[in-house]
């Protein structure tokens, strides 16, 4: 090695060392208030972060902070338990990926990951696509800006096979690195939502997943498909648009999480009708059903709010056209669904973290947790639309967005 190379090598080591030292220094963030994700509001908050973790949260003193977010509200990074990060409008504006190269498809997914992070979502669960696996790895390496990503890779449905074949399919998912298992236990709501998998198929998938310590997310619209999921020992029911008081009560009593999607997914299909029409079941009849389903889901959600002990988590089912607008689900639940803002925010933070079994790492502003923090302009507890104004995003102690106005 020449002396020039040695000097260069030492210079590189120097830069690496100084950035490592810089990261070791505590970072402080000051805000008008912090909602900690678990129901506590800390006024005049100061949060200390070191080595990617939250060290503490307190009511601030006069000392200057690394990030002065006066006038803003600090929240834990938001979590969406149900997105389809691979879905996008392609070159011709259609909501399908026909004729795309794999690199084009994965770049669309990277774009969706980026806009989702910029919207304040620091963790999402993609339900799910094989593309997620490489995107998850790139985000985890820190080379791609996106939310912490969990994926189900491939779904289980009525055609996966016999209960034994389904168990083998679930073991293969585990071997391929799935974080959870997605089941389609009913038809799409656009096709009436009737049960598709048998009770035995559902129980086989959820039983095998549980033995492998994998969570299960069950797409279920009709009452019987919801009951099959609960009785089959599954973790979460998603959609549940036709849930009656009986199924809502059953989920609550058995501790099954419920993830209704009432404020973004259907509205997005209608707003982007021209991008979807003619693809699969997106026909006139399907759209007519989508229109009808919005008030139906709202009524179901209002019934769900009355059920004591029902764990209502926040997943959007975001697809093409909805990425980066995930908070609209929370806003709708509060403004139209009359859910108290604190409960809706807990649903998207601490309760969501619990549902994905990451409560020891994320979902709250508390000492020891990963430093996933966002700041919004305004107070979301009194004006939930503040979630549309995300001006600061930190994930694992790294700032990905900071467009907060500079203060003198
Ligand atoms: Zn979905």
Cα 167 to middle of ligand 1, angstroms: 22
How far apart are the C-alpha atoms of 240 and 258, rounded to whole Å? Answer: 8
Judge residue 151's burial from the number of C-beta atoms within 10 Å of its C-beta, 0-12 exposed, 13-18 middle, 19 or more buried: buried
Beta pairing class for 180-184 and 148-151: unpaired
In order of 45, 140, 321, 329, the CA distances from 317 in angstroms are 33, 23, 11, 10
Q: What would the DSSP string read from start to end of 221-259?
A: -SHHHHHHHHHTT-SEEEE-TT--HHHHHHHHHHT-EEE
The pLDDT, as a whole number, for residue 7 is 47
Cα 12 to middle of ligand 1, angstroms: 45
What pLDDT sits at residue 335?
98
Distance 218 CA to ligand 1 centre (A): 10
What distances in angstroms separate CA 95 from CA 13, 31, 100, one per listed residue? Answer: 47, 40, 12
CB 35 within 8 A of CB 49: no
Token pair recorded at residue 138: 């790139």
CA of 371 to the centre of ligand 1 (A): 28
- Conformational region of residue 202, where left means phi above 0, alpha means psi within -120 to 50, and beta covers everything else: alpha
326-337 residues labelled b (16+ CB within 10 A) or e (exposed): bbbbbbbbbeeb
CA of 142 to the centre of ligand 1 (A): 27
> Residue 114 C-alpha to ligand 1 middle, in angstroms?
19
- The confidence score (pLDDT) of residue 32 equals 95
pLDDT, residue 6, reads 47
Where residue 258 falls (left for φ over 0; alpha for ψ -120 to 50; beta otherwise) is: beta
The pLDDT assigned to 369 comes to 98
**pLDDT score at 408:** 60
Residue numbers in the chain where pLDDT is lower than 70: 1-23, 407-408
Q: Would you call 17 exposed, middle or buried from its count of C-beta atoms within 10 A (0-12, 13-18, 19+)?
A: exposed
Q: How far is the CA of 27 from the centre of ligand 1 (A)?
A: 38
Query: What is the CA(82)–ligand 1 centre distance, in A?
Result: 6
340-376 pLDDT, tens digit per residue, is: 999 999 999 999 999 999 999 999 999 999 999 999 9
Q: For 186-221, what is each residue's pLDDT tens digit?
A: 999 888 899 999 999 999 999 999 999 999 999 999
């Amino acid at each position: 090695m020449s002396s020039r190379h040695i000097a260069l090598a030492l210079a590189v080591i120097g830069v690496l060392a100084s950035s490592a030292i810089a990261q070791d220094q505590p970072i402080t963030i000051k805000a008008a208030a912090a909602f900690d994700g678990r129901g506590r509001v800390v006024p005049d908050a100061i949060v200390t972060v070191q080595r990617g973790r939250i060290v503490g949260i307190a009511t601030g003193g006069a000392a200057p902070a690394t990030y002065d977010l006066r006038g803003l509200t600090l929240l834990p990074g938001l979590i969406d338990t149900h997105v389809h990060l691979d879905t996008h409008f392609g070159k011709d504006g259609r909501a399908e990926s026909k004729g795309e190269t794999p690199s084009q498809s994965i770049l669309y997914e990277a774009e969706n990951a980026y806009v989702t992070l910029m919207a304040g979502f620091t963790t999402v669960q993609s339900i799910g696509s094989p593309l997620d696996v490489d995107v998850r790895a790139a985000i985890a390496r820190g080379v791609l800006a996106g939310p912490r990503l969990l994926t189900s890779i491939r779904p289980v449905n009525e055609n996966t096979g016999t209960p034994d074949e389904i168990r083998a399919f679930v073991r293969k998912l585990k071997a391929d690195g799935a974080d959870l298992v997605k089941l389609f236990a009913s038809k799409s709501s656009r096709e009436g939502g009737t049960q598709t998998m048998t009770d035995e198929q559902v129980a086989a998938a959820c039983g095998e997943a549980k033995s492998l310590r994998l969570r299960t997310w069950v797409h279920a619209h009709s009452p019987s498909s919801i009951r099959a999921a609960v009785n089959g020992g599954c973790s979460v029911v998603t959609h549940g648009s036709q849930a009656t008081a009986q199924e809502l009560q059953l989920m609550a009593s058995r501790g099954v999480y419920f993830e209704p999607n009432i404020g973004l997914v259907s509205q997005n299909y209608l707003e982007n009708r021209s991008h979807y029409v003619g693809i699969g079941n997106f026909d006139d009849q399907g759209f007519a059903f989508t229109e009808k389903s919005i008030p139906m889901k709202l009524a179901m959600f209002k019934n769900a709010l009355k059920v004591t002990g029902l764990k209502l988590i926040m997943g959007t089912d975001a697809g093409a056209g909805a990425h980066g607008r995930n908070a609209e689900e929370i806003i709708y639940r509060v403004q139209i669904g009359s859910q108290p803002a604190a409960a809706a925010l807990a649903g998207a933070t601490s309760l969501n973290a619990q549902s994905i079994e990451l409560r020891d790492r994320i979902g709250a502003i508390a000492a020891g947790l990963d430093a996933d923090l966002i700041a919004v302009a305004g107070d979301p507890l009194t004006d939930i639309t503040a979630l549309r104004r995300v001006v600061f995003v930190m994930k694992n102690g790294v700032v990905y967005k900071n467009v907060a106005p500079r203060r003198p």
